[in-house]
Amino acid sequence: MNASSILIASAAYLCLINLTCFAAYYVDKRRALSGNWRVPENRLLCLALIGGSPGAKWAQKRFRHKTRKQPFCARLNRIIWLQLVLIIGAPLYVAT
């Protein structure tokens, strides 16, 4: 694989996982309003962990969902900080 195909595949993956995460939050919000079975929090957090954290934050703000549930918010924020450290730190580590 050359660099451009890796970049295209990575962008496609990130788009797909963020849309999936956004949709999962939407479904969970609708189920919460109607009193149906919910999407498990671990599933929502796993989607964020594997790359869907921008979609998770976007959905959280857009649907005003899971914004006051503090253990969940703290876990999502930790995932985002971990991803930022890895994104910023990995190139710095490789460069040395």
Confidence at 93, pLDDT banded by 50, 70, 90: confident
Q: Kindly report, residue by residue over 19-73, the tens digit of the pLDDT.
A: 999 999 999 999 999 999 999 999 999 999 999 999 999 999 999 888 888 899 9
- The stretch 69-78 carries a mean pLDDT of 93
Extract the tokens encoding 40: 């498990």
Per-residue DSSP letters for 6-52? HHHHHHHHHHHHHHHHHHHHHHHHHHHHHT-PPPPHHHHHHHIIIII
Q: In whole angstroms, what is the distance from residue 26 CA to residue 10 CA?
A: 24
What are 85's two structure tokens?
């450290």
Report the candidate in 53, 50, 61, 54 with the shortest Cα–Cα distance to residue 26.
61
Of residues 72 and 96, more confidence is placed in 72
